[in-house]
Amino acid sequence: MTQQFDLFDANGAAPAKGAGSSTKRRSPTALSEDDMVRQLHETGRYRILTKLEPRLVITAARPGFPLTGVIIDTETTGLNHRKDEIIEIGAVAFTFDETGNIGDVIGVYSALQQPSVPIPEEITRLTGISHDMVADQMIDLCQVRAVVEPADLVIAHNAGFDRPFCEALSPIFAGKAWACSVSEIDWASRGFEGTKLGYLIGQAGYFHEGHRAVDDCFALLEVLAEGGGEAGRTPFAELYEASQRSRARIFAENSPFDMKDQLKARGYRWSDGSDGRPKSWWVEVAEDALDDELRYLRTQVYRWDDADPPIKRLTAFDRFRAA
C-alpha cells in the first residue's frame, strides 16, 4: 500500500530540517476533480462555481413537452426604443410542459447588426461591442421569425426593455405572450440577494463567459431550470404560472398633489403622458389585489367612495409593451 507523505505532523507543525533523514518524500496521490471539490466543500471555507456549459440543440425533441419558450436578449445603442437600435440579438428556444418543466433546447440564433449611427463609447464599454465587430453585419429576420414564430412564451430578463426593441425590429414579436424573469419571479424568497443576471448565475452555483447575448440566454435558461426555492418548483414554473395571470394597471388620475410622496412610497410611478398613458401616478397589481388597491385610493387618496380611476387590464400578450 502506498503511503502519502504528510507535510505536517499531527500537531500541524512542519518537521525540522534534518529530522527523519531516513524518511523519503513521496508524491501525494493525485485527487480527482470530484474529490477536490468535495474536500473544499467540507472545509466550509470555500464555495465552488461550476462553468456553465450551453445545452445541446436537439433536432428531435423528447415527447411530453408540448409548449415552446424563447429566451431573448438584446444589446442596443441606448435605452430609447424609438430612436436607438439593436446591435445584437440572442435567442434560445426550448420546450416545456404545462407545469413548467423544461425539456430540450430546439433552436438558437445569434447575430450582430451594424446600426445607422456610431455606437456610443459608453455602450462599447458596457457591451464590449465595437464598430469593427458590427461592420457589415445584419440580423437575418427570416431566421429570427423561424425561432420565434412557434413560441408560446417569450422570456426576457427585463422584458420592459427588450420587448419594445424587439417589436421595432420585427412584427413577429408583437403578437406573442411575454414574461419577465426579473419582475415575475420572487427571487428574494428563493434566497437570491439581487435580480441582476450575474448575481443569479453566481448564487445558483455557476459562472459563465457572457461575451455574447446568446450566452446570457443560455445562462438564464439554467437559472430558470434549477435556481433554488421549494423542491420541485423551479423559477421557470413560477414564471410560467405568473404569465398566465392577468394584472391590472391603475392610473391615479387627478390625485391630490400632496399625496405624491405617499403614492410613490406605495410603489406608484409617475407618467408624464408622453408615452400614451394618462398623465398621472400609476401602479400595476395582480387582479386579486385590485379591489384592495381601489379601496386604498378611495379612502386614503381621493377620500370619495365613488372615485373611479382609469383601469387597464393586462395579460402576457399586453404586458411590457411600449405605450
Residue 75 belongs to a domain with what CATH number? 3.30.420.10
Residue 5 binned pLDDT confidence (cut-offs 50, 70, 90): very low
Same domain, 230 and 182: yes
Q: DSSP string covering 63-81, please?
A: TT--EEEEEEEEEESSS-T
Mean pLDDT check: name the lowest of 19-23, 145-149, 171-175, 200-204: 19-23
Say what percent of the chain tops pLDDT 70. Answer: 89
11: pLDDT strictly greater than 50: no
Residue 40: per-residue pLDDT: 84
Task: Please say if the pLDDT value at position 148 is more than 90.
Answer: yes
Which one is predicted more confidently, 242 or 226? Answer: 242
Q: Which of 217, 244, 271 is the last residue of a domain?
A: 244
Q: Is the pLDDT of residue 121 over 60?
A: yes
Stated length of the chain: 323
- CB-CB neighbours of 147 under 10 Å: 20
Residues 79 and 197 in one domain: yes
Name the residue range of residue 78's domain.
67-244
β-bridge partners, 102: 96
pLDDT at 25: 58
Of 9-23, 105-119, 263-277, the range with the lowest mean pLDDT is 9-23
pLDDT for residue 1 is more than 80: no
Top mean-pLDDT range of 35-44, 51-60, 114-123, 226-235: 114-123
Q: Give the pLDDT of residue 231.
A: 57
Per-residue pLDDT, averaged over 240-268, amounts to 96
Q: What is the mean pLDDT of residues 113-134?
A: 96
More confident residue, 191 or 139: 139
Q: Residue 228's pLDDT band (boundaries 50, 70, 90)?
A: low
Same domain, 260 and 280: yes
Query: Residue 37: its pLDDT value, please?
Result: 83
CA 249, CA 102: separation in Å to the nearest integer?
A: 31
In the prediction, which pLDDT does 323 show?
A: 64
Residue 48's pLDDT is 87
Task: Copy the grid coordinates of residue 57.
Answer: 440543440
Domain for residue 9, yes or no?
A: no
Q: Is residue 320 part of a domain?
A: no
Distance of CA 182 to the CA centre of its chain: 6
Grid cell of 200 as nine digits: 443569479
pLDDT number for residue 30: 80
CA-based diameter of the chain, in Å? 97
More confident site: 37 or 282: 282
Average pLDDT over residues 149-164: 98
Asked if residue 168 has pLDDT above 80, the reply is: yes
Give mean pLDDT, residues 23-30. 61
If asked whether residues 188 and 277 sit together in one domain, one would say no
Residue type, 210: G
- Whether 228 and 253 map to the same domain: the answer is no
Do both 235 and 137 map to the same domain?
A: yes
Separation CA 276–CA 272 (nearest Å): 9
Total of domains in the chain: 2
The kind and range of the H/E element at 45 are: none
**CB within 8 Å of 171: residues ≥ 6 apart:** none
237 and 286, same domain (yes or no): no
In a domain, 323, yes or no: no
Confidence check: pLDDT of 180 > 80: yes
Average pLDDT in the chain: 89
Residue 238 pLDDT exceeds 70 = yes
Residues 58-68 have pLDDT tens digits of 988 899 999 99
Q: Give the model's pLDDT for residue 41.
A: 81
- Residue 208 has a CB neighbour count (10 Å cut-off) of 20
**What's the rounded mean pLDDT across residues 88-113?**
97
